[in-house]
Structure 1
Amino acid sequence: MAVDLFAGIPVSDYPAALAWYERLLGSPPTFVVSDTEAVWEIAEHRSVYIEHLPEHAGHAMHTLFVDDFDDRVAGIAGRGLEPTKRETYSNGVRKATFRDPDGNEIGFGGGPL
């Protein structure tokens, strides 16, 4: 069974969020749906999108597990964003959590699974 994933992130200020997510994800959107929605394909058939929905902004919580955790977090820092929280769990998994201007939580995890 093929599965596609579109993980949505509601934002209150679309232009500010667009710039922030370009820095977080390291590129412009893969495609722009409209003046209020943009999509980044983070892996084949797996996408993250932002949409101007002020009444819902600030409530998203997503974690992306990556095999290049240290390089990924360092690359994001090089683009001017620092995690608001870093954790290491008892099983060795690490997580760096970033919060966008609305407070939406985007985490990157890596390590043993």
Structure 2
Amino acid sequence: MAPMLFAGIAVRDHAAAVPWYEKFFGRPASFEATETESVWGLAEHGWVYVVERPADAGHALLTIMVDDLDATVADVDGRGIKPERRESYDNGARKVLYQDPDGNEISYAWAPRD
């Protein structure tokens, strides 16, 4: 079996969080797992789910690697979501960090391939 990733982001209020994630990802959820859990497929074997778990909200750290960071950031900017900060690393890698309304950190990043 190929490796798969199913990464979760806890939020205080699922219904309130979903519109932000639809805007961030640029589309509705791929499916609703339950009344309080929505799932976005981001790659063939990679999904991100947003789940209502108030006690755990605001602690996620998630980085999504992309081939074209500038285009991805421009798309997100075009949907009205601005980054919290940008980082550059000595090896040429770059990361753009966003925060959802609960304080979860979701980043897009690019790194040179060896």
- Quickly name the TM-score band, shorter chain normalised: over 0.9
SS at match of 1:76: helix
Residue 111 of structure 1, CA deviation: 3.7
The equivalent residue for 2:60 is 60
SS at match of 1:96: strand
Q: Separation in 1 of the partners of 2:73 and 2:16? A: 21
Q: Separation in 2 of the partners of 1:38 and 1:7? A: 12
SS at match of 2:17: helix
Look up the equivalent residue of 2:34 and give its one-letter code: S
The equivalent residue for 1:112 is 112
The equivalent residue for 2:48 is 48
Q: Give 4+ residue runs of structure 1 displaced > 2 Å after superposition.
A: none
The equivalent residue for 1:33 is 33
The reply to whether residue 7 of structure 1 matches residue 7 of structure 2 is: yes
Q: Separation in 1 of the partners of 2:105 and 2:2? A: 27
Look up the equivalent residue of 1:88 and give its one-letter code: S
SS at match of 2:58: coil
Q: Separation in 2 of the partners of 1:19 and 1:61? A: 20
Equivalent residues, number: 113
CA deviations over 1:29-83 (Å, ceiling 9, x no partner) = 0001111000000000100000000010000001011002111000000000001
- Contact 1:69–1:111 (CA under 8 A) maintained in structure 2: no
Task: Calculate the TM-score normalised by the size of structure 1.
Answer: 0.96
Q: Separation in 2 of the partners of 1:57 and 1:15? A: 14
Q: Separation in 2 of the partners of 1:23 and 1:91? A: 31
Residue 14 of structure 1, CA deviation: 1.0
- CA RMSD of the aligned region, Å? 0.9
Gaps of 5+ in 1: none
**Percentage of pairs with the same residue:** 50
